């Protein structure tokens, strides 16, 4: 069975794609450049990760990429809003979370993935959704949203029904790390930071979540942080 896996280079999407390959799916990884400030760092992480897994798991196919221009976006991830740098406690409000949200991003990415499904003969799409520790998910990262999206794709395209596959949606990020450790996956190759640096900044929301996940998993964090 074939699945198009959206990859950003982070722990969540990479682990999701790897799990599906381990479980026997033919995984077709897709990276989308939508103007994110860390695009070069992300795609390098995806290429390195996919290459490593592909060498050991034949069900992981080679990477494809897509580009979409959205210069009007307002988000810290695309550089039109400053990246917030702080500690775990300071990220506990919805307003702080909205700064890091890219409006309608997952709607666009999933639609692009559906188009790629036509090329490879797939009707399944995976995305790295997981259960967040303290707050509700972003509006386009919930199971309810994915259910509606797969219905829309099924109605709007020829062929069989679509399914958006989210094997870790009820798991915390630290659960993904323990799974990666148990499966000997190259988590050290992933990239989480919102800043365009040579190493992780250590203070953006994603870096803070990454640190916290390694700590909760009881796994030594191999990540190099600037601060």
Does 145 map to a domain? yes
Strand partners, 220: none
What is the overall mean pLDDT for the chain?
Answer: 89
What confidence tens digit (pLDDT) does each residue in 57-110 have? 999 999 999 988 766 665 545 544 555 666 555 555 666 666 666 778 899 999
- Count CB neighbours of 148 within 10 A: 12
Task: Work out how many domains the chain is built from and give that number.
Answer: 1
Question: What range does the domain containing 174 cover?
Answer: 2-217
> How many Å apart are CA 109 and CA 103, to the nearest integer?
11
> How many Å apart are CA 188 and CA 183, to the nearest integer?
13
Does 225 map to a domain? no
Does 223 map to a domain? no
Percent of the chain with pLDDT over 70: 84
Does 222 map to a domain? no
Report which DSSP code applies to 139. G
The pTM score is 0.90
Among 92-96, 180-184, 194-198, the least confident range: 92-96
The predicted structure's pLDDT at residue 133: 66
Q: At what angle do helices 173-182 and 205-217 cross, to 10 degrees?
A: 60
- Torsion angle of the four alpha carbons 147, 69, 173, 188, in this order, in degrees rounded to the nearest 10: 140
Question: Which pLDDT band, with edges at 50, 70 and 90, does 187 fall under?
Answer: very high
Does 131 map to a domain? yes
The predicted structure's pLDDT at residue 227: 63
What confidence tens digit (pLDDT) does each residue in 132-167 have? 866 677 888 999 999 999 999 999 999 999 999 999
H helices present in the chain, as ranges? 11-22, 39-56, 94-99, 105-120, 143-156, 173-182, 205-217
Strand partners, 23: none
The predicted structure's pLDDT at residue 178: 98
Residue 16 in tokens: 């999701």
Report which DSSP code applies to 37. T
- Count CB neighbours of 95 within 10 A: 6
Question: Which pLDDT band, with edges at 50, 70 and 90, does 205 fall under?
Answer: confident
- CATH code, 184: 3.40.50.620
> How many Å apart are CA 97 and CA 75, to the nearest integer?
11
Tokens 């995305």 identify what position?
127
């Amino acid at each position: 069975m074939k699945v198009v896996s959206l990859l950003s280079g982070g722990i969540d999407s990479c682990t999701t794609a790897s799990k599906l390959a381990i479980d026997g799916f033919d995984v077709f990884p897709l990276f989308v450049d939508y103007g994110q400030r860390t695009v070069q760092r992300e795609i390098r992480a995806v290429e390195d990760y996919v290459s490593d897994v592909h060498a050991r798991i034949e069900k992981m196919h080679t990477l494809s990429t897509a580009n979409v221009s959205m210069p009007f976006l307002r988000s810290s991830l695309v550089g039109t809003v400053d990246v917030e740098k702080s500690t775990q406690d300071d990220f506990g409000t919805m307003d702080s979370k909205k700064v890091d949200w890219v409006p309608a991003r997952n709607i666009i990415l999933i639609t692009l993935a559906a188009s790629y499904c036509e090329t490879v003969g797939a009707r399944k799409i995976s995305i790295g959704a997981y259960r967040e520790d303290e707050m509700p998910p972003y509006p386009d990262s919930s199971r309810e949203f994915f259910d509606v999206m797969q219905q829309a794709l099924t109605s709007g395209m020829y062929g069989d029904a679509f399914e958006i596959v989210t094997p870790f949606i009820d798991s915390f990020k630290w659960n993904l790390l323990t799974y990666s450790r148990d499966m000997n996956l190259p988590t050290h190759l992933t990239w989480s930071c919102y800043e365009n640096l040579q190493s992780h900044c250590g203070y953006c929301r994603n870096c803070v979540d990454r640190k916290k996940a390694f700590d909760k998993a009881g796994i030594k964090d191999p990540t190099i942080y600037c601060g």
